[in-house]
Amino acid sequence: MFIRKVLLLIIGVALFGVGFSQTPEDALKNAWFIPNGTARSISIGGAMGSLGGDISSVYTNPAGLGMYKTREVVLTPSFLTNNNKADFRGTNTSGINKSGFQLGTAGVVIGGKINQANNSTAFAITINQLASYNNHFHYSGLNDTTSYSEQYLEELTKDNANVNAALNNYPFSSSLAFITYLIDSVADGNGSLIGYRSLVPVGNGNSVRQEYDEINKGGLYEVSFGFASNEMDKLYLGASINLPLSFYTQDINYRENDPTDNTNNNFDYSELTQHHTLNGAGLNARLGLIYNLQNSLRLGLAIHTPSLMTFTDNLDVSMTTNTENYAGTQTVKSSDFPDAASQTRYNETTPYRIIASASYVLHEVENVKMQKGFIAGDIEFVNYRGSRFSAEGDNNDGSLTDYYNSLNDVIKSYYKGAFNFRLGGELKFSPFAIRLGGAYYGSPYKDKNLKANRILAAGGLGYRNQGFFIDLTIAETFNKDVNFPYRLTDEPNTFAQLKNSRTNVLLTFGVKF
Amino acid sequence: MKKNIIYFICVALFLTSCSTYRSSQTPDDVYYSPAKKVVPADQYDEYQSYTSSSDDDYLRMKVADHYRWSNLDDFDYWYDSRYYYNNYYSYYNPWNTYYSPWGVSLAYNFYNPYTSFWYSPWNSVYCPAYTVVYYKNPSVYYGTRTANSYHLSTYSNHNYNNTNMPMRNGSRSNVYINGNSSRRNDNYIINQNRNNSNPVRLFNNNNNSNSNFNSGSSHNMSSGGSSGGGMSRAPRGGH
């Protein structure tokens, strides 16, 4: 019985060695984002690397916790709205919105002294939604060059797949296209299979209308345990152990249709629907130090280790194609394939980060009426090309190992390391404070034709009195990115230029106790 | 949404009522974090540096409630060997480092009756702020969906085309405006009876065995390629 199961597994893996798997885009989900925090930290662009004294220090430089000799509990609910624009082959789409709640930093910081007046330690437990995946992209336009059906042609011909393989071995891609007659086989004069062709008339004066719709939900959360020490109010050392939790749901609806009224060209439309969930958990650490020079100048350095994460990936795909007189309307789902494995597991190692910071604080004195403000800045390096994937657990299948090695090679060649810049400041008129900040996150893509960046502009107000504090921040994030509806190897690829404007309203409420 | 707002307000009000700084200045730890001591706000008319004296604290509390704190006034407390190395700070400091190199020991804090209780009930083990978050990996299993290396090869194609040809007489010309733009390579299309605008890909070498190929008709081939029964597709109509 056991041997039979093993044989079935081996045969299954051998036969389904060409199914869907992880893509380089997955590497960016948990790496390229502007981290969320408290309203105060976001209002100064997230430049908390050397400042300290805010619970969100856990997420930038945990040495900042060492500033605490008091205790506080913090809650940060926030609300965000997305406004998206897209340019796809000259056709602009706008007004695609999505909104929702987001959890900012919440937790407890407990500071205390050791045995000298200026030495102390602090401890924090926090939870934070570092990144929100909530968004909705939509674009459409005519394409006179390629069709998404060509990715299936390439897949089958590169694998030298015969008809039986085309029917069975690609339950998440080419088999759907073949069964619904989006693509069909090509024979030579002797009736031998020599390749595959698409039913979509495109090129040579013909166009196809392409429409892409993607709805994303979920977020990257992190539960953190931060520790820090303070020596003589000069040197602060900190570390945090963090448990990242990623919950991602993606629904894609892609459609190609014949823009003409011709009902005799064997193609009306083809529609692909994909439901994808990706849930993972892992572990990482952050180490940092802050040195407080004379004249209120603080310097910080922090290192974020890669996150070691394990993901569970579930995928369901269906396709409906209407080829008019050729084969009519056909529908097939990946779940119709008896051996299709809709779930897989894998490991991911996210990129490391290094943050160098400086800040200047006006009047580091106890009397809050004399505290006047600060300015702070961070420079962060993220090695996006350092993401790595591997098979989960004790799965030592050779084809999987080869695949993940290839995937890692693509990540190394497709992405690059990038610098991020954060700058912000506060003016304080106790008990009130006003804040302003911004951030620039560089493109993770090595190819300069792919324009991408993230820009944050934020402002906020704070009130601190009678044992509590409340901070309100409005942050506007401008995200520029690209989206490929499909990719080809031997034809020019097409992509949409996406522009996302995200408004985030954060309210942090905290109590000193 | 309304529920969330109400919950948030309730939690905020509840926490506010527990603050020990309601009648004093509220510290801002970004600028300066004072060691824990509540000083009335009117004492800040002129700046004073903070002085910490646990003896003063002790005496102040003793005056306020003699019976409550009298049990501290004994030999065992002041000369307890656990705290002897620096006892008067231990008495005051809930973050005694005796058990921890970090100076943080929740267990010690929970069991030490001499710490944490006199300023606020929030300092105690009953405080909801001491939430302990337990983490556990979700239970998942390994599937057999495996890798497709074809898709990865597409990432090495850095040739892009994001513009359509201009319309001419109601249809698109195959004359390209941008001479450097790469366009479809129609060399793939062989002499077959089909529309030339349908994309085609042929095998690089035709040495694969495809004797079961049956062009243009129903393909019902369940043998050989599948471990669990084959898929089929509906027969074509009209052709």
- Report the complex ipTM: 0.86
Note the pLDDT of residue A446: 95
Per DSSP, the residues of A31-80 read: TSS-----HHHHHTTT--TTT--STTHHHH-GGGGGG-SSEEEEE-EEEE
Instruction: Confirm if B163 and A365 have CB atoms less than 8 A apart.
Output: no
Residue whose structure tokens are 């409005």: A474
Token pair listed for B113? 């009756």
**A11 vs B227: CA distance, rounded Å:** 7
Q: What's this model's pTM, rounded to 2 decimal places?
A: 0.77
B188 vs A30 pLDDT, higher one: A30
Q: How far apart are CA A64 and CA A154, in angstroms?
A: 53
Q: Hey, which residues 234-293 in chain A have their CB within 8 Å of chain B?
A: 243, 265-266, 279, 281
Give CA–CA dist A52/A298, Å, rounded. 9
In chain B, which residues have their Cβ closer than 8 Å to the Cβ of A155?
148, 150-151
Confidence (pLDDT) at A441? 97
CA distance A51 to chain B (A): 7
Nearest to B172 among A21, A195, A207 (CB): A207
Q: Exposed, middle or buried by CB within 10 Å (0-12, 13-18, 19+), for B157?
A: middle
Closest CA to A17 of B203, B213, B232, B227: B227
Percent of chain B at pLDDT above 70?
19
Is the Cβ pair A509, B8 closer than 8 Å?
yes
A348-364 per-residue burial string, b: 16 or more CB within 10 A, e: under 16: bbbbbbebbbbbbbbbb
pLDDT along chain A (513 residues), means of 10: 38 36 84 94 96 94 94 93 94 87 91 73 95 93 94 93 92 94 92 93 91 95 95 93 96 96 93 96 97 89 97 95 94 90 90 97 85 95 95 71 90 96 95 96 95 97 93 97 94 95 96 89
B95-104 confidence digits (pLDDT tens): 443 343 443 3
pLDDT for res B107: 37
**Phi and psi at residue A179, to the nearest 5°:** -70, -35
Angle between helices A2-15 and A398-414 (to 10 degrees): 40
Cβ distance of B36 and A69 shorter than 8 Å? yes
Higher pLDDT, B70 or A193: A193
Q: Hey, what's the torsion of the CAs at A443, A444, A449, A453, to 10 degrees?
A: -20
pLDDT at position A412 is 95
pLDDT of residue B215: 38
d(CA A215, CA A508): 28
Strands A269-292 and A297-304, sheet pairing: antiparallel
In this structure, what token pair is assigned to residue B200?
């085609």
- Write the residue in B182, B192, B226 that is nearest to A492 by C-beta: B182
- Cα distance from N-terminal residue to C-terminal residue, chain A: 63
- Whether B201 and A197 lie within 8 Å, measured CB to CB: yes
Q: Can you tell me whether residue A171 is helix, strand or coil?
A: coil
In the three-class reduction of DSSP (H, G, I as helix; E, B as strand; rest coil), residue A425 is classed as strand
Q: Most A CBs within 10 Å: which of B13, B29, B215, as the mutation test of the A interface?
A: B29
Find, among A113, A286, A424, A477, the residue nearest to B30 by Cα: A424
Closest residue, chain B, to A117 (C-alpha): B52
